[in-house]
Structure formats: C-alpha cells, structure tokens
Structure 1
C-alpha cells in the first residue's frame, strides 16, 4: 500500500460492511425428510443484507434444494470501544 491510498477492506468497513454468517437449512428433493446445513461467511451491509439476498434469490432460481430456514449473524467490524474507569475519582495510568 502506498501513501495516500486507503486499504480496500478498511474502506468497506467505513462504508458499513460487517462480518456476516448465514446458516441455511435446506432439504434435497431426493431426501425430503433430511435437513442439511450450509454455512457461509462473508461481508455484507446490515440490516438489508443485499449480498445475502442476491445469494438466496440465486439459490431459489438455480438450486433444486428447498430452503427450510436461514439464520443470520453479523458483527460490525468497526464499533465504538467501551471505556470504564478502574477506580472512581482515581487517576487512570
């Protein structure tokens, strides 16, 4: 990285992207009584999740497996830090 340029991943964090995990439970047509799991971790923008929505739209159009449920977890990559005083009225070193 040269002086004056911004790292691409840092720029994405500033734009609101966060680490997102999606757990998709699905059923295959040949084994409808069996639930299977697909886990995917990626960067997306909460709460709209445009990348996840594109993926699920693709799944429904192109994949024979039927989605049972989707669980989404996300963690902001940039967040305010918590600061606590160790001792009331004391000096913090």
Structure 2
C-alpha cells in the first residue's frame, strides 16, 4: 500500500532531488540532464542509489555525474496542537 507524503515525512523521510548528467549514446561529447525526485532516507539514500543502479543497468546513456540535495521538511517533534486562530485583515 502506498504511503502518503506526510506519513513518509513522519517516519524520517525527506525530499531528495537529484540532477543526473549523462552522455548521449550517439553523441558522446553532448551532456544532457535528467531531474529525479523522491522521498528518501538520509544519509544512506537507498532509493537514490537503487535508481542509479537501475540507470546503469537499463539506460544506454552513460552517467557523467550526479548532484543531489536532501531536504527534511518536517519531523515528528514539529507537530503542535493549536487551540486558537488568528485572522489578519
């Protein structure tokens, strides 16, 4: 069963964005880019490394480099019960 983004973030997952630089199979001097995003666990990044393994196994364009960042948006301790509401007119 697919988990919601909030459930993943409460379990410690954060949004990982990776930029893949790869060479075109027929034009080895041309670099192209591909952007990948998924919720992943830092510092091991199992989903990212699984995708890199998939790329190297299945995609014809050889990887030149991968640049990535990880952002943990919320943590379990950041949830608070709010009692009031403020309106700004």
The normalised TM-score by structure 2 is 0.76
Unaligned 5+ segments in structure 1 are 1-6, 82-93
Q: What is the SS of the residue equivalent to 2:52? A: helix
For these two proteins, the number of residue pairs brought into alignment is: 75
* Structure-2 residue corresponding to 1:42: 38
Higher strand share: 1
Q: Deviations over 1:5-54 (max 9, x none)?
A: xx832221121110110000000220100000001121111111111111
Supply the RMSD in Å over aligned alpha carbons. Answer: 1.7
1:66 and 2:88 aligned:
no
CA distance in 2, matches of 1:11, 1:54: 21
Task: Answer with 8-17 or 24-33: which moved more.
Answer: 8-17
Unaligned 5+ segments in structure 2 are 79-89
The normalised TM-score by structure 1 is 0.73
* Structure-1 residue corresponding to 2:20: 24
* Structure-2 residue corresponding to 1:90: none
Moved over 6 A (4+): none
